[in-house]
Amino acid sequence: MDKTRETLSRRKFVAATASAASLLITKPSTAFTTAAHSRIKVGCIGLGGRGAWIARHLAEREGYEIAAVADYFPNVSQKVGAELHVPENRRYSGLNGYKRLLDSRVDAVFLETPPYCFPEHAQAASDAGCHIYIAKPVAIDVPGSLLIQKLGRQATKEKRVFIIDFQTRTDKFFIEGIKKVREGWLGKVGLIAAVYSDESFPDPPLGETIAGRLVNLIWVNDAAIGGGKLLNAGVHSIDVALWMAQENPIDAMGSSSLSRADAHGDSHDTYSVTYNFKNGIILNYQGEYIPNQYSVISCHAYGSEGHIETYYAGKVGIRGTKRGWRGGENKNLYASGMKANVETFYQSIVNGVYDNPTVEPGVNANLACILGQMAAEKKTRITWDEMLKTGPEIKPDLTGLKM
């Protein structure tokens, strides 16, 4: 969602590339060799803007075969499937399209649907023995987040790859900068400030079913479909904050409101949340998702001897009283991060690397956002343990949708 002054919108960026590949066919859970031309047979579930963009990239990347696609909307599945030369009988649609895709036998799945689907789809893909590449946020509630954590750990035990698609964790400047924070370049860190401001998304009147909410990121406005705006947006900057803090918060308190004009979804869109950590760090999160011509994603940490500034698709660097680091800038992080994760996914599968290091931080960032959202919307203090015990299961109303 980043439409900073330096970058294009992270959500709206679309790469117009497509090609077909003539690839070998394997079975789910097949042990791949390290041969240069190992082929991974994948199914792409969810073909909206980002899902179709990633599918086009896979079609160009030697080593992947797009063997099947699925989207709730038949016209989307047929259009993207035809573009990618997927056989017509392997272009699935409806709520159960993902089941038919898994029944067609693929080695791996790319999950790019509204996030309420992720736990159910990931469970089915795990049961089918598939490697899993999943967008974020990974779930809309606590039970879903914990299921993703369980499935990620299970994948490691069963020698499968499970990757959560955070872009910042692939960037050399973020990696090096946060490494220096952990090495003590800032001295004792006391405060972390995380910000996510963006322009929001269309929020038209509700229809008889939620079908009309499943397109054009409208679902971000709906807690039961997309989990709400702090979870969808704030997960990026809060993930970086937890990366810096090196632990999960013990509690959160804050406030939020619904500020956008003519709102129809139930998600709040302005947030101020304060998190406390056992190590004494305070994290302030500020988020607003209103059309006001201001967009930025950042996370800064302030210590006794210096501070670090990090911007999504922007500059990363350290200034201090004893030492500094010039750092650098990746203006194309939205695209480069995805490509790096797709490459890691491939290399991990063919080389048998099953440590799945993105699962725990990805789930923790998800839970931290849910904690902050709960505390802010209730305008009260909630502990991490209370969130885990009382966070409700959230289910969308799927009445009238095609199976």
Q: 198 or 130: which carries more pLDDT confidence?
A: 130
Lookup result for tokens 């015990």: 389
Burial class (CB in 10 A: 0-12, 13-18, 19+), 220: buried
* Sheet of strand 108-111, all strands in order from the earlier edge strand to the far edge: 91-93, 64-71, 40-45, 108-111, 131-134, 162-164
Question: Per the structure block, which two tokens stand in for 357?
Answer: 């290091």
The pLDDT tens digits of the residues spanning 6-24 come to 333 433 333 333 333 333 3
Tell me the mean pLDDT in the region 158-167: 97
Tell me the mean pLDDT in the region 273-293: 95
Centroid of chain to Cα 257: 24
Question: Per the structure block, which two tokens stand in for 278?
Answer: 């056992």
What is the C-alpha to C-alpha distance for residues 137 and 153, in angstroms, rounded to an integer? 18
The pLDDT tens digits of the residues spanning 249-281 come to 999 999 999 998 889 999 999 999 999 999 999
Q: How confident is the model at residue 402 (pLDDT cuts 50, 70, 90)?
A: very high
At residue 194, the pLDDT reads 98
3-state class of 111 per DSSP? strand
Lookup result for tokens 């990239």: 57
The pLDDT tens digits of the residues spanning 40-94 come to 999 999 999 999 999 999 999 989 999 999 999 999 999 999 999 999 999 999 9
Question: Per the structure block, which two tokens stand in for 383?
Answer: 């502990």
pTM of the model: 0.89
What is the C-alpha to C-alpha distance for residues 106 and 129, in angstroms, rounded to an integer? 9
* Structural domains for the chain: 40-164 (3.40.50.720), 168-390 (3.30.360.10)
At residue 33, the pLDDT reads 44
Q: 90 or 29: which carries more pLDDT confidence?
A: 90
At residue 21, the pLDDT reads 32
